[in-house]
Structure formats: C-alpha cells, structure tokens
A = this chain, B = another copy of it.
Amino acid sequence: MNYSSAFIPTLREVPADAVIASHRLMFRSGLLRKLANGLFAYLPLGLRSFRKVEQIVREEMNATGALEIKPSVVVPGELWKESGRWDSMGESLLRLKNRLNNDFVVSPTAEEAFTAIVRDELSSYRQLPLALYQINTKFRDEIRPRYGVMRGREFTMKDAYSWHTDDKSLDGTYQAMGRAYRRIFKRCGLSVIPVRADSGAMGGSGSEEFMVESEVGDNTLLLCKSCEYAANVEKASCTPDFQVRPSIETARAAAANTPACKKIETPNVKTINDLCAFLKTEPKAFIKTLVYRAVNVELDLSSAPGCSKLERKKISADAPSVYSEAFFAVAIRGDLDVNEVKLAAVLKASEVSLAPDTDVVRLTGAPVGFAGPVGLSFLPIIIDHTVTGMEDAVTGALEKDLHYEHAAYGRDFEAWMIEDVRTVKAGDRCPLCGGELYTKMGNELGHIFKLGYKYTRSMNVTYLDENGKTQMPVMGCYGIGVDRTLASVIEEHHDEAGIIWPASVAPYHVIIIPIKYNNEVKTAADNLAAELTKAGIEVLLDDRNERPGVKFNDADLTGIPWRVVIGDKGLAQPNPQVEIKRRSEKENLMIDTDKAAALLAQKIREELAALNS
C-alpha cells in the first residue's frame, strides 16, 4: 500500500481531551476519529489493527470449540424483561422504541439473546455442552465516556456463553476459556494480570478478570510481591495481622484478664482521630461501628435482631424473594475500612451504602459517631474477623459524648455474623504466602465467569437428561473488549515518539521510506515492496513528496515494527545498501539491498512465532 493512498491523517497536536497515551496516539497516528462523545470511527490504519485483534480472538475462540454466531445488535426489550434486566440494569442500558412503539435494547451484552436462541433449539442432553460466541457491536450509555475507546459508548465485544449439564462440564469450558484468554493477550503482546474478581451484578460465582495495569484503571488490584496472588480490592483478602478467635469461647477466654468494660466521657470527640488524641492511643485500639443500609437483601434475616417485622418480597416472578430494605451494624478495627462490595456479597444485597444520619440516630439511639456493638440490640451486628481478636478495645457507647473502654468481643458483645469485610490495602500480607501486598490500578480487558442458573431459570431453558427428566442447564459467560484490548496494546507499547506495535497486531509490518521517491531510489523501493509482499509481509511504502524528517516522524508515530530507509547514498555503495531499523530499538543497520527482504521476513516471522507460541 502506498502511503499517499492510505488515508493516514496524522496529527501533530494532541486532542485536548486525551489524557492517556492510547487515546492520544490513536488520534495522532490517524487510527481513530471522534464522531461524538464516546462514539468513534476507526480509520483505515486503525481498522487493520482492530481486525487483527478480532481475528486473534476468533481463532482462539474457535480453538476452544466455541461457535461463532451473529445476532442482531438491536434486540427486543421483551427478552430483557424476561430476564429481569430491563428493570435492574439502570440507565447505562440504551432502551429505545421503534415506530410501532415496541421496546428494544441496543445490546450491552447478550445473555438474553443467546439464551433465547438456545432455548428454542435445546431438547436433549446430547446437545450439551454448547458454547456460542459473537464479536459484535455493543452499546453502554456511559454517563461520562472518556479515555477514547477505553471507555466509549459504542464498542466491540467478543462475548461467549456456554450451557452445560453439570458444574464439572461448566468448569471444563471455564478453564479452557481461561487458557484461551491467556493466549489471546499473549498473542497481542499484552501483559495481563488474571485476578479473582467479584462477579458483581452479573450473578453466579467463580470468575476471573483479565486486567492490564493502567494509570486510569477502574479497578484497584492487590498483588503479592512474593507469589502470583492477584485480586480485585472488591474481593481481596489477606493474612490476618492479629489473633483470630475461631470461637466465642476462645474470645471469652482471651478477655479473662481484661478489666471490666466501662463508660468513659469523651466530650467533643467526633472522629477516630479526635479519640486517639484524647485517649493518647492509636486507631487499632478502637472498634469502629458503621450502620449500613442494604437494598434487595436475599440473605435470610428471619432470626436477625431487629428484623422480625421485615417481609420478603418478589421483585420478579423468577428471581428469589428479597427484603427490599434492611439495616446492619458493621464493626471493624478502627484502622481499617469496610469494603462495601464484600459486604454486599455477604448480605446477597444488590446495593449497600452507609445509612443516612437520621436512620443512624433512630437505630442506635445516639448521634452519629457514638455507635458501638456493646448493648446494640436493634440491629444485626456483623463483625469483621479483626474484631474477634480485640479483647480490650474502645468503642462507642450509644450515647452522646460517651465511649466504652475495655470492651471485649465474646464477653461484652456478640455478633450476628462474623465475616471478612475489610478493605485490603498495600502493606497487608498475602493470603496465600504471607508476602507483602501492593496495589496497582487496572483496567478490565476480559472477564470469564460461571453464571449459574440466573438466565436459564429466569428464561425457562430446559432439556431432557439421559433418563428423560427435564433439567435446567448451567451457564458460563466470557467477554473480551476488542477496542480496549487494542488500546491497551498501545498503552503497553509506546514511547514519546509514538506507538511500537507488536508484529501480530501492527497495521503493516514494514514501512519503506525512500528519501526521494524517484529514479533508482523509487525502483529499489518498489522492488523491495514487491518482494516483501510476495513473502506475505505487509508493506506501507511512503511515496509522499515530503521531507525525510516528516516521513521518519510519521513512521515512528504510526509504530510500524520495521523501517527501511532507501537513499541515493546507500544505493551508490559498491554493494547497494539500505538502512533497516526496528521501531523498538535505537540502532539501525545497513544491509545489502538484495538481502533486505529475506532478513525482514525472517525477523518478522520470528516475532510472530514468538507471540503465537
């Protein structure tokens, strides 16, 4: 391809709203343009790389035995009503009506559409397991799209779904997908961090997220300096740095020598820091108690303190019944934070947030800042594991300006539940090896998880087993963001001059720059391009009538892995020579013109082989 015919509008300026490297470079190197906030157009160079990522994903999906299908992008709202997500998805779901006033959705994911297709065709266990996927347009009505295609409104996702007769079969496909994902990212030249993640609103358990490090990542990851442990902060745990009391009896025994729990006056003390200053101690010595409001709680609260009047309600025909609202006290060591995602998982609640002050006052009988587990009888108390190890703590006394000292778990108060709800942070110890944990910000490129029966139950999917009995298949679900993957390659492979493409996703393998595209130089450039093309190497020939500096800058910016410079001087040597330079390296090399094609083809095949191995 000649550069002048390739429509590569490179830019010197950086778009004002581009704060991350991939966003800046996709615009500057002419890969992408914006149509509106969060809506983009891939230009020819960008689309070439995009298609290569797509093809890598497709090959690895096919290798797992998954079959590609292509449902429509706009799907009937009825299907989303069946699954319950029409109501539960919130405003990021782009809902629309057509001229006949029918409801539709511009798909953000396709559990419903795929399940509807399979439901109609599935009759026998012999058809299972079945894994289907698509690589298709998706839409999420982001309120604040940013970072280019890293968080756009419209994007392309590979989403796969699988159906199984049992958990073992599901696990087999789940593991195969995990291996395929590792291969996909490796082939794209990406370093990903596979992390155990909370599966959040998607339902089900058993999930793995594939993250890349990113300064603007949505996720805080906890990684171990000594082992492979990696977890999303929403699910991370750590080795306790305290004595965990495995039972209430051991906790009571530990408190044997603790002085009796008694109230102390703490006038004008409102925060833990105030209290530390006032009592001359440190946050670790306190039991912090927070009141949370939870919405749509599935957990059984029939025996929970203060909950006897709550009633379970059905919010949709097929979903389990829930308590629409419930309040909980959560006690945790004073130096730690409660992780609301972990808490929500414990409560099986759709949402958890700090209770409004008025509720806190109503439920604890005290102003905000004086809650504590001792004597608290109107709320279920959830204590974090850390509290089980506290046999002599300070905590709120449920009265203004009063705290307890010498409070001990097991002796002075008990828990309704003991759970791990702490937010793990850098410096905590790895739960696997005890090594030191550190944090990274990460962006999710892919996510695989075991969905369970959420959709097959709500959409009533069944098959007949070997005994002719009606059964419900169990599902898995596996997504990769194609645009995000592409942008992440640029995040990982660039320098101040531009992109440095891995050969597997480079729009072209070689850029040939004739110093002046005429006479012998033109002939040599054309011949080399033809020879490389014949060898299956993708060549961009910079035929423009521009200064060499402009061409060199564009070559660096667009990041083509190999650059060949052809000029009069080199060709005038006894053995005519051209200059070869790898984008990722500083050195260049003069090589005999007639050996250039073979060397380049060999180098590129080596890199591709290494990436694809």
Contacts and interface: CB of A to CB of B under 8 A. Distances in A.
Given A7-B132, A43-B69, A154-B72, A99 B106 contact: no
Contacts of A132: 7, 44
A154 to B, nearest CB: 4
A465 interface: no
Interface stretch (A136-144, A275-283, A418-426): A136-144
B137 A71 contact: no
Interface string A75-104: 110110000000000011010101110100
B69 A35 contact: no
Contacts of A113: 35, 41
B33 A99 contact: no
Contacts of A41: 69-72, 113, 117
User: How many copies of this kind of chain does the complex include?
Assistant: 2
Interface string A120-144: 1100000000101000010101010
Given A7-B132, A9-B121, A33-B117, A139 B42 contact: no
A6 interface: yes
A39 to B, nearest CB: 4
Interface in A241-293: none
Contacts of A99: 91-92, 141, 143
A384 B216 CA distance: 70
A50 B75 contact: no
Interface string A26-62: 0000000101100111111001001000000000000
A7 B130 contact: yes
A467 interface: no
A102 B38 CA distance: 13
A547 to B, nearest CB: 16
A47 B74 contact: no
Interface in A6-38: 6-7, 9, 33, 35-36
A356 interface: no
A139 B40 contact: no
Interface residues of A, number: 50
A73 interface: yes
A153 interface: yes
A94 B96 contact: yes
Interface string A394-422: 00000000000000000000000000000
A67 B6 contact: yes
Nearest to A68: B47
B141 A98 contact: yes
Given A7-B132, A78-B36, A132-B7, A70 B98 contact: no
A5 interface: yes
Contact of A47 (B43, B70, B94, B106): B70
A405 to B, nearest CB: 51
Given A7-B130, A35-B116, A116-B35, A137 B73 contact: yes
A65 interface: yes
A92 B98 CA distance: 9
Nearest to A96: B96
Given A98-B94, A106-B106, A71 B143 contact: no
Nearest to A130: B7
A76 B35 contact: yes
Contacts of A76: 35-36, 39
27 contacts: A5-B67, A6-B67, A33-B121, A35-B116, A36-B75, A36-B76, A36-B78, A36-B102, A39-B72, A39-B74, A39-B75, A39-B76, A40-B72, A41-B70, A41-B117, A42-B71, A44-B67, A44-B69, A44-B132, A47-B70, A50-B70, A72-B154, A74-B139, A94-B96, A94-B98, A96-B106, A100-B143
Q: Top 8 nearest A-B pairs by Cβ distance? A: A41-B71, A36-B76, A96-B96, A42-B70, A44-B67, A39-B72, A72-B154, A9-B121
Given A36-B76, A41-B113, A74-B139, 4 more contacts: A41-B117, A74-B106, A94-B98, A98-B153
Interface of A: 5-7, 9, 33, 35-36, 39-44, 47, 50, 65, 67-76, 78-79, 91-92, 94, 96, 98-100, 102, 106, 113, 116-117, 120-121, 130, 132, 137, 139, 141, 143, 153-154
